[in-house]
């Protein structure tokens, strides 16, 4: 009887290991199956490829081709990244800075709007920062292009004053249970009808010493009203490129 029990235990252990191995393989196969390569030939529509792509996909553009377009970043479910690369990427030496002599190895994306870059950097001026914003939701961006939106930004950070000119942009990290958190706008860009705000979100280390107080970090800046003309959507990204919030610009 003891021998039978040992054999049964061994069989059970091997069966469990086999089941775990098969499960891992199936998960890996599932993840791999979801990654796709989308090739956009010369003269093709890059925006359509971006619209169709999911996180983990790669969009390949023809080296040497010029794509005239204005790009917007659609809302995607999930997390990860979408890579856009040249069809001759493998010919570039890894870890070496490229130069003009290698330009034939790249595709070119050119704005369809004359004299406008595909992605334009938007200058901004500091207005205020706060650790105690009157806001307890999730990460959010607000563009104060209407009186109501501007007043909401100033209500949340009631120590701030509206700038004499320009448009307020506020980024809010949301309510946090301790100190050590923070948010800082790193850059603002304009791509088509989208305002792209990238911010650094600070989170204390798990074993770090922090104050036991509820905080709600916020950072307010001002941009020129001309840089907002025609913009319909504001998107907030963190430093890793993950989308944190999206809002319609009033």
Per-residue pLDDT of the chain (250 residues; tens, 9 = 90+): 444 443 444 444 444 444 444 444 444 444 445 689 999 999 999 999 999 999 889 999 999 999 988 888 887 878 788 999 999 999 988 888 888 899 999 999 888 777 677 788 999 999 999 999 999 999 999 999 999 999 999 999 999 999 999 999 999 999 999 999 999 999 999 998 999 999 999 999 888 887 889 999 999 999 999 999 999 999 999 999 899 999 999 8
Q: How far is CA 181 from CA 94, 127, 152, 172, 220, in A?
A: 36, 19, 22, 11, 16
Q: How far apart are CA 220 and CA 118, in angstroms?
A: 26
CA 177/CA 213 separation, integer angstroms: 6
How many other CB atoms are found less than 10 A from the CB of residue 169?
A: 27
Q: 208 Cβ partners below 8 Å, 6+ apart? A: 180
Show me where the domains of the chain are located.
Answer: 37-111, 120-248
Rounded distance between C-alpha atoms, residue 242 and residue 81, angstroms: 8
CA distance 115 to 119: 12
Which among 145, 158, 177, 146 is positioned nearest to 218, based on CA atoms?
158
45 φ, ψ (degrees, to nearest 5): -100, 105
Q: Are 121 and 142 in contact (CB under 8 A)?
A: no
C-alpha–C-alpha distance, residues 81 and 9, integer Å: 45
The helix/strand/coil state of 194 is strand
Q: How many whole angstroms separate alpha carbon 139 and alpha carbon 87?
A: 37
């Amino acid at each position: 009887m003891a021998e039978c029990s040992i054999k049964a235990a061994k069989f059970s252990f091997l069966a469990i290991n086999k089941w775990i191995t098969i499960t891992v393989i199936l998960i890996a196969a599932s993840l791999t199956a979801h990654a796709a390569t989308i090739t956009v030939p010369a003269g093709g529509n890059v925006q359509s490829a971006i619209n169709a792509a999911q996180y983990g996909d790669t969009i390949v553009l023809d080296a040497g081709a010029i794509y005239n377009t204005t790009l917007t970043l659609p809302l995607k479910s999930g997390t990860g990244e979408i890579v856009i690369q040249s069809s001759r990427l493998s010919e570039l030496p890894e870890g070496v800075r490229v130069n003009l002599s290698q330009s034939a190895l790249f595709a070119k994306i050119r704005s369809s709007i004359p004299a406008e870059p595909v992605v334009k950097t938007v200058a901004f001026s500091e207005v205020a920062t706060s650790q105690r914003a009157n806001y307890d939701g999730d990460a959010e961006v607000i563009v104060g292009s209407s009186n109501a939106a501007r007043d909401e930004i100033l209500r949340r950070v009631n120590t701030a004053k509206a700038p004499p000119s320009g448009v307020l942009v506020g980024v809010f990290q949301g309510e946090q249970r301790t100190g050590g958190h923070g948010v800082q706008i790193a850059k603002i860009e304009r791509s088509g009808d989208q305002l792209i705000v990238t911010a650094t979100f600070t989170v204390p280390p798990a074993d770090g010493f922090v104050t036991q107080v509820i905080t709600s970090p916020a950072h307010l800046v001002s941009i020129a009203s001309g840089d907002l003309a025609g913009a319909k959507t504001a998107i907030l990204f963190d430093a890793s490129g993950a989308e944190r919030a999206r809002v319609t610009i009033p």
